[in-house]
Structure 1
Amino acid sequence: MGAKVRSKASAAVVWLGFSVLLGGCAGTFPQPGTEPEFDDGLTADTLFQRTLAAHGGDLRTFEGDLNQANAGDWGRIIQRIQPLVADGEYRGRGEERYRPADDLYAVHYTGSAGTKSVFRRGEEFRVYFDGERSTDPERVRASAMTTDAGELFHYGPSFVKHRATAMERLPDRRDDGVDYYRVLATLEPGFGEAEADQVVMWIHPETALLYRVHITLNGFEPTQGAHVDTTFLEYAEVEGFTLPTRFEERVRGPLRLFVHEWWVTGRDSKRGWSSADVDGPGFSGAAAPAAAGSSAP
């Protein structure tokens, strides 16, 4: 136990050390100042409704299940300074099972250190490592936060719709030759156990699809004050919804570094699995086979 405590403390010290060292070049999380005026007359709500429609509408109206497989690569530095958040040795390949109509989201990961399973339904959350349910409060908080963030990354504006309590438009921002609309949303609750978090949605001016989300991470003490963004590099359609299939995540503050690159390797829908099939650890019944197009992890 002492070694584990020292390991967690060391990670926090390293994180703070990097923050001090690189703080001068790190970005700050966007905040509205005085209310800007926009010549186009588009409000935050108008832009949000536009991106929600571009993604196919509210996923909570879909009466079925969505299943996908993911694989990716983790940055080395983030695994050293935030090992409980990255959990890269467990979060290698992942199989997701999502039933949006009743807010049920489960993921089973396989990595070099073993297996990790998470189950979230509304406020209920559980996490398992190598088949054993974890009661470590830090592991649970970190996993709850990253699980909610994962749902945002993979399923987009529908997640924001059901947690946002306020939205404001920010000045547009140019990236790679495109001027993106930006909308700042306050989420209550935030990711995991956070009372609140914020997300800035970058919206493509022509397709209205999300190009990037930039989020705070208040649900776990060592990441409070940090913020990351995830950029969506490719999209595909499933069941009438347009969902991202390739992602790149970076820490933007209090330091700047690469976090994670990942991609969807398989996807299918409407299997009809039951809640018990994904209750954990791992999947059973109709939820057990790997997503179509992928090999079992």
Structure 2
Amino acid sequence: MLPRAGLVAQAHTGPEGRKAVARRAGGDVRVWFDGEEAKDPDRRAAAALVSDAYALFLLGPMLLVTGGWGAPRSVALEVGGAGDIVVGGRPFACDVLRGRMAPGLGLAASDRVALFLDREEGLMRRVRFSLDGMESTRGAVAEVDAYDHLARHGVRWPTRFHERLLRPLQMPVHDWWVTGLDVDRGFAAADVEGGAFRGKAAAPAAALA
């Protein structure tokens, strides 16, 4: 992530090969599979949606109050009640901020969002959001729990996540966790925008203890 450049870059390796994504906030998205750039709208839209959503899960309110991660974004939130929730096996009393952000996640013109902020520590414990960035997901609603926070570089980062779908049907989606984290490694956009991480971006992040 390069906040000032409004850039999120991702590199995935799995049984089906390599995938790389470079997403500019409010603008372009490029995606490569095994080094070959995909030009079709569906895969580009999916990559933009996932990139924006993962930035929201990790950064929470920080992403929204900074004006949209390098691009103008209108975010209108208001207190929309309270909620007692259980996240990671722990109960939390939360205030809920509900509203709309425009543009939304991925290529959506706007999305609805609800942030569950725990009253004791002010951390985002849950985020609920619409998925209007793709034709195939339009009308769907999902939520992600964020927990097991660690303090690094002056920020308390969530390291565990659980995602579930609420609409059109209720079902768990997946669990994932942060295994490494670096801040200010010194790489530039050119190191992550060409389909593979290079230079100072190439090494794995420092493992979390």
Relative to the length of structure 1, the TM-score reads 0.64
**Cα shift at 1:286:** 0.5
Which 10-residue stretch deviates more, 126-135 or 237-246?
237-246
2:114 is aligned, of 196, 200, 213, to 200
2:77 is aligned, of 167, 178, 182, to 167
**Cα shift at 1:124:** 2.1
* 1:249 and 2:153 correspond: no
What secondary structure is seen at the aligned counterpart in 2 of 1:208?
Answer: coil
Q: Distance in 2 between matches of 1:121 and 1:147?
A: 9
The residue aligned with 2:58 is 154
More helix by share: 1
The residue aligned with 1:108 is 11
Task: Quote the sequence identity (%).
Answer: 38
Q: Distance in 1 between matches of 2:192 and 2:83?
A: 41
Describe how 1:43-122 pairs up with structure 2 within 5 A.
98-122=1-25
Aligned positions, number: 197
Q: Distance in 1 between matches of 2:29 and 2:131?
A: 18
* 1:283 and 2:186 correspond: no
Structure (1 or 2) with the larger CA radius of gyration: 1
Q: Distance in 2 between matches of 1:259 and 1:164?
A: 29
Q: Distance in 2 between matches of 1:111 and 1:159?
A: 29
Describe how 1:120-159 pairs up with structure 2 within 5 A.
120-122=23-25, 123-159=27-63
| CA contact 2:161–2:176 (8 Å) conserved in 1 | yes
Q: String of CA shifts for 1:199-230, please: whole Å, max 9, x gaps.
A: 10000010010000000000001111101000
What secondary structure is seen at the aligned counterpart in 2 of 1:143?
Answer: helix
1:217 is aligned, of 131, 137, 143, to 131
Structure 1 unpaired stretches of 5+: 1-97
**Cα shift at 1:110:** 0.9
Structure 2 unpaired stretches of 5+: 68-72
Q: Distance in 2 between matches of 1:268 and 1:143?
A: 23
Runs of 4+ in 1 over 3 A off after TM superposition: none
Q: Distance in 2 between matches of 1:275 and 1:178?
A: 39
| CA contact 1:160–1:185 (8 Å) conserved in 2 | no
| CA contact 1:156–1:243 (8 Å) conserved in 2 | no
Structure of higher RCO (CA pairs closer than 8 Å, 6+ residues apart): 1
| CA contact 1:108–1:283 (8 Å) conserved in 2 | yes
**Cα shift at 1:266:** 0.9
Q: Specify the code of the residue in structure 2 equivalent to 1:267.
A: L
* 1:268 and 2:172 correspond: no
**Cα shift at 1:125:** 1.2
CA RMSD of the aligned region, Å?
A: 1.3
| CA contact 2:2–2:189 (8 Å) conserved in 1 | no
Relative to the length of structure 2, the TM-score reads 0.90
Q: Distance in 2 between matches of 1:178 and 1:276?
A: 42
Q: Distance in 2 between matches of 1:165 and 1:218?
A: 16
